[in-house]
A = this chain, B = another copy of it.
Amino acid sequence: MEIARTNPGGTNTATLTRLPKYLAYLKIKQKQGVTAISSTRIANDLRLTPILVRKDLATVSQAGRPKTGYPMDALIGDLERFLGCENARDAFLVGAGRLGRALMGYGQFQDYGLTILAAFDTDEALHGREFDGKPVLPVEKLPDLVRRMQVHLAILAVPDSAAQATADLLVQSGVRAIWNFTTETIAVPDNVLVQHENLAASLAILSKRLAALFDREKQGGTQP
C-alpha cells in the first residue's frame, strides 16, 4: 500500500495562504489607480521576496510580462477566478451568539466564494431574526435543510460545551467539512474534514515575535 502524501497538480498550502493576501493588496493598489505592478513592489509592501511572489502568482496567472510586471486587472481577475470559482461554497452557520454574528458580518467571506445561507441556534429568542440578511433558524431544522440544500460546509460557532454534540448532528446530517471556531477539539469520521480556527495559535506566534523584537532591541541597541 502506498501513501499519497504529496499534492500533485495542486497548489501548496503555503502559497494558498498568501493568495488572499495578494488579492486584498492588489485591490487596494487598483483603487489607487495602479494599472501594472511588479513582483518587487508587491514583495516590498508585503514583506516577502520577489521570487516567492512570482512563484505564487505563477500558480494562478500567466499574465506577468517582462519590464512591466503584472497588468493589474488581469492579475486580479485570475486571482478572483481561482479563489472564487475554485472555492465557491454555500455554508450554514451554527451558533448565532456574539462570535457567530461577528462571522455573519465578516464581509470578506463573500469575496472569497463563501456564502453563509443561514444561521441556526437553540435560542428561541433569536429565531426569525436576521443578521446581515441571514436568518436565524431553529437547530431542529438543520438536518433537513442540509440534506435538501446539499450544503457540505458548516461553520461551528456554538459554545464549547455544545461543540461535539453539534458536530455529531452536522455529520449525521451529511455535512462534509466543519470549520470549527470553538476551542474544543472535535472528533469526526475519517470522511469528514475539520479545520480548527485556532486564535490561540496566532496569539502564540505574535507573542513570540514580540518577545524576539524586545530581545533584539535590548541586545543590539535599537535596530540590528
Contacts and interface: CB of A to CB of B under 8 A. Distances in A.
Contacts of A18: 201
Q: How many copies does the complex hold?
A: 2
Interface in A27-71: 28, 45-46
A21 B201 contact: yes
B109 A200 contact: yes
> How many of chain A's residues touch chain B, expressed as a range?
35 or more
A114 interface: yes
Interface of A: 4, 7, 10-11, 13, 16-21, 24-25, 28, 45-46, 83, 86-87, 89, 98-99, 101-102, 105-109, 111-114, 152-153, 160, 176-177, 179, 183-185, 190-191, 193, 195-214, 217, 222-224
12 contacts: A10-B212, A24-B200, A83-B204, A89-B207, A98-B101, A102-B102, A112-B207, A152-B210, A153-B206, A191-B213, A191-B223, A193-B206
